[in-house]
Amino acid sequence: MSRIGKKPVDLPSGVEAKVSGQTVEVKGPKGTRSFTATDDVTIAVDGNVITVTPRGTSKRARQQWGMSRSMVANLVTGVSTGFKRELEIQGVGYRAQMQGNTLKLNLGLSHDVDYTAPEGVTVTVPKQTEIVLEGIDEQVLGQVASDIRSWRKPEPYKGKGIRYKGEFIFRKEGKKK
């Protein structure tokens, strides 16, 4: 039995949800998001609570039960408070700056890296070594953070590169004479 799927999803004030067939549409102060569940689960809205129940006892139905509940909870969190990812840049001469809606990165390459974030993701640079990403879609936000990090992943000897805030980089010892 799914322990995650059993928990109902509470709707905070200012957030409303509609179910039509297998599609859940959630509206909130930050925007509107929707999710279409598989036919293995049933989604119901009762007042300010959304419940997900499996249709049957098959393995697939039990798998989709917890996953669908998590997706609905992420919709509610996204439209009410939003998601945030923070990146740190470490390295001599490595820095970031915003020019309009384009993120300009100096990462020790022979050229500057220009990155334009997709619609729905807000990029801010409070310091030259910090990048803050905000949005209502957690999947898109994680993909943008991963794309930015892929330009210069942290290396294990000096730790230079772009890392998630709070990420631990396993450090290696260099050569010895």
| Residue among 162, 86, 90, 164 at smallest CA distance from 125 | 86
Return the closest-CA partner of residue 141 out of 70, 91, 77: 77
Beta carbons of 131 and 96 less than 8 angstroms apart: yes
What is the spatial distance between Cα 69 and Cα 141, in angstroms, rounded to a whole number?
20
Residue 47: per-residue pLDDT: 87
User: Domains plus CATH for the chain?
Assistant: 3-80 (3.90.930.12), 83-164 (3.90.930.12)
Other C-beta atoms lying within 10 Å of the C-beta of residue 56: 10
> Please, what are the averages of pLDDT over each run of 10 residues along the chain (177 residues)?
85 92 93 92 92 92 92 93 94 91 91 92 94 94 94 92 92 87
The count of C-alpha atoms lying within 13 angstroms of the C-alpha of 87, restricted to the half-sphere facing its C-beta, is 32
- CA–CA separation, 125 and 131 (whole Å): 5
Decide: 68 and 56 in contact? Cβ < 8 Å.
no
Instruction: Mark 80-97 as b/e (b = at least 16 C-beta within 10 Å).
Output: bebbebebbbebeebebe
- The H or E element containing residue 29 is none
